[in-house]
A = this chain, B = another copy of it.
Amino acid sequence: MRQVKLFVASALLVATCAQADEGMWTFHNVPTGAIKQKYGVDVTPAWLDKVRNATIRLSNCTASFVSPNGLILTNFHCSWACLDENSTKEKSLLEDGYLATSREKEIKCQTQVADVLVGYEDVTAKVAAATRGQDDKTANETRKKTRTQLEQACEQASKKDRKTGPLKCETVELYQGGQYYVYKYKRYDDVRLVFAPENAIGQFGGDPDNFQFPRWCLDMSVLRAYENGKPAVTPNFMRIDFNGPQDGAPVFVSGHPGSTDRMLTHAQLETLRNVDLPQWLLRNSELRGRYIQFGKISEENQRIIGAPMSSLENGIKVRRKELDALHSDELLARKLKDEGSLLQKVKANPEMATAVGNPWADIQKAQDIEATISVPYTYLEAAGGFNSRLFRYARTLVRGAAERAKPNEDRLREYRDTALPRIEQTLGASVPVYPELEQLTLSFSLERMREWLGPDHEIVRMLLVKDSPDSLAAKLIKGTKLADANVRKELWKGGEQAVSASDDPMIQLAQAVDAASRAVRKRYEDEVEAPVQTAQEKIAKARFAALGTSVYPDATFTLRLNYGSVQGWVENGQKVDSFTRLGRLYERATDAAPFKLPESWIAAQGKLDPDTKFNLSTNNDITGGNSGSPLIDRNGSIVGLLFDGNIHSISGSYWFDEQKNRAIAVHPAIMRAALDQVYGAKELLKELELAGRAGGT
């Protein structure tokens, strides 16, 4: 562990303990020695295997198996999409919560999947061999083709493997190109909703309390994996220890942190600070205003924006605090200094100097280009000008048709064969599309595209000579049939011929802007991504030479383990306790959302013990994507359900602040009390308790 700390963190940390509990470790490189030394816990290969096999990657979150019958524990907020898909504007499951009183009443989450990592293979050498000697642009293309080939070959092989059966295979880039792996997943694509509480307690405190601690959120939901129409058989599960952990106890988080930027260079951080984050925040702050005002019109509107609003506000808070973190001159100065010293090491070694050169300067050049194409990329290729679910369907259909006509490895990566089943699942899902919401987001984004590309940009002139953003959006949404899953399925099946024959106005829009969008993507890939990729691989080489793999890679929404202990922190000289308790929830409630308790909790108050532990804080190093992760004790039992970080955890995108960065979890005691006393979920509780006694992992 001594060399583990990334250079940014090492500088800013005022260390009080010898080693920081920092790091999002791949399961093939867990620092077991350091864990043993600090916490006296033996993290054995068997322990790791069991945890890995019980940990789930959802499409957007982490989760875990908690019974042998496919029962899945995750966060309430990880099920927003499922709740939203199964709501109408008259009745919102997000608001009301849901409890399946029998297996038949478990509701399909149409766009959810549950993946379990069952194996992995290091393919670094294969990727390196394929790209050797190529220029940046060619190497960038070859790398993608190679990854597509590796994934395809892996999935083909798994189909013939009786032991595993068909697997989903994904290549993973670790250490920014320093390593490549193929990760192999068992996928459950039939995931159903068993239980979710009301939004008012699932997200008690709403956006104001988001990323805060002390906290009182029952941010849990229960799903179930099905296979062949029956509950999946999942012998690899973890038991829940409803007593929860002691203060100070060692705890582990197994999960899928989505993305961190700790290895970015100074130049890349400046692009984030100067370009990407401010533009995103401006755009989405306005969208937030539009949502809020739209929601005031009626209760139906309020329901319609429930889920997108929660996601949006979460995103705004994250990026706002990320921007604050990047405004620390100390962070950027330290980054520069560390880059300088690594460069010195490179220069001191003639062989390395030849192989590596000055990749930081190469990245700086690419960033200068990125700054000039960021706006058209955002509005056209990233569809920031066409913010609409229906447009996204249209683009997928238009591009999917064109790409599927090409050989697998020549396609845009997102349309490779191994990715198609997931696309088909999404296109085929009968989920509600609210024309009012589509109108809002599409009109908004067209208007901002006009602002940022300028009224005289060719695409803007093409679209808005006769129309306003409002009138164009209205025509498109009124005219398109893409809200109908069957129409989408037919167009997907019909391929290029069906798509080019379509008179659907949204399809026509996607066609009309496709060439310009692809052109800016191509420029980005050739002039930014390609040189950056080459340079990053060189930096990885230099870093490995200096530090070995005693460092961990940035998060990539792949399985990681981190360790730490239950602990609070000191804020402005005040100690923040590790646990919150139920009593304070009732004191803190007000008469108005988001601090208003649901009826069920008001009614149950007399039955509940106010001393029940509610949420807890630990110093595990987590980030978005870890939501829903099990908090695991030394025995492999679940002692908490991770759902958030404190406000300081957001700067974890760039460095780990041992003093203040904390993870926040739901305490098992409140889960049990809620299921038992508030919701009367006797069957569910029985299943969990039975599983607990059976042992699980």
Contact = CB atoms under 8 A, between A and B. Distances in A.
Contacts of A593: 468
A455 interface: yes
A132 interface: no
Interface of A: 205, 207-209, 212, 270, 273-275, 278, 281-283, 285-294, 296-297, 316, 320, 323-324, 327, 329, 440, 444, 447, 450-451, 454-455, 464-468, 470-471, 590-593, 595
B278 A590 contact: no
Number of copies of this chain that the complex holds: 2
Contact of A282 (B320, B466, B470): B320
A320 B466 CA distance: 29
Contact of A440 (B209, B274, B278, B293): B293
19 contacts: A205-B455, A208-B450, A208-B451, A208-B454, A208-B455, A209-B455, A270-B329, A273-B327, A275-B327, A282-B285, A283-B285, A285-B286, A289-B292, A289-B293, A293-B294, A464-B592, A466-B590, A468-B592, A471-B592
A136 B293 CA distance: 46
Given A278-B281, A288-B286, A451-B208, A467 B293 contact: no
Nearest to A371: B327
A590 B288 CA distance: 29
A274 B327 contact: yes
A212 B454 CA distance: 9
Contacts of A440: 293
Given A207-B451, A451-B207, A285 B278 contact: no
A384 to B, nearest CB: 14
A382 to B, nearest CB: 19
A590 B455 CA distance: 11
A451 B468 CA distance: 34
Contacts of A323: 278
Given A209-B455, A273-B327, 8 more contacts: A208-B455, A212-B454, A289-B291, A290-B290, A292-B447, A455-B595, A467-B592, A471-B592
A324 to B, nearest CB: 8
Contact of A467 (B275, B447, B591): B591
A595 B463 CA distance: 14
Contacts of A286: 285-286, 288-289, 292
A592 B466 contact: yes
Contact of A287 (B283, B289, B329, B470): B289
A290 B329 CA distance: 34
A81 to B, nearest CB: 23
Contacts of A444: 289, 292
A370 to B, nearest CB: 14
A502 to B, nearest CB: 26
Contacts of A471: 592
Contact of A289 (B212, B289, B327): B289
A289 B296 contact: no
A285 B329 CA distance: 26
A268 to B, nearest CB: 14
Contacts of A281: 278, 281-282, 285
A289 B285 contact: yes
Nearest to A595: B455
A411 to B, nearest CB: 35
A466 B590 CA distance: 5
A278 B279 CA distance: 10
Contacts of A274: 324, 327
Most buried by B among A275, A278, A454: A278
A444 B274 CA distance: 27
Contacts of A289: 285-293, 444
A470 B592 CA distance: 10
A61 to B, nearest CB: 25
A62 to B, nearest CB: 28
A185 to B, nearest CB: 39
A224 to B, nearest CB: 36
A274 B321 CA distance: 12
Contacts of A454: 208, 212
A589 to B, nearest CB: 10
Contacts of A470: 296
Contacts of A464: 590, 592
A354 to B, nearest CB: 31
A471 B283 CA distance: 28
A684 B528 CA distance: 59
Nearest to A210: B451
Contacts of A447: 292
Contacts of A294: 293
Contact of A278 (B208, B278, B292): B278
Contacts of A282: 281-282, 285, 316, 320
A331 B287 CA distance: 32
Nearest to A471: B592
User: Most chain-B Cβ atoms within 10 A of its Cβ — which of A296, A466, A593?
Assistant: A296
A466 to B, nearest CB: 5
Contacts of A320: 282
Contacts of A296: 470
A287 to B, nearest CB: 6
Contacts of A270: 329
A498 B32 CA distance: 74
Contacts of A327: 273-275
Contacts of A291: 289
Contacts of A287: 289
A447 B309 CA distance: 15
Closest 4 CB pairs of A and B: A289-B289, A468-B592, A293-B293, A286-B289
A87 B444 CA distance: 28
Contacts of A468: 592-593
Contact of A290 (B207, B292, B324): B292
A287 B323 CA distance: 20
Nearest to A327: B274
A443 B80 CA distance: 27
A323 B278 CA distance: 9
Nearest to A589: B465
Contacts of A285: 281-283, 285-286, 289
Which of A208, A275, A329 counts the most B-chain CB atoms under 10 A from its CB?
A208
Q: Which of A282, A293, A470, A591 has the most CB of B within 10 A?
A: A293
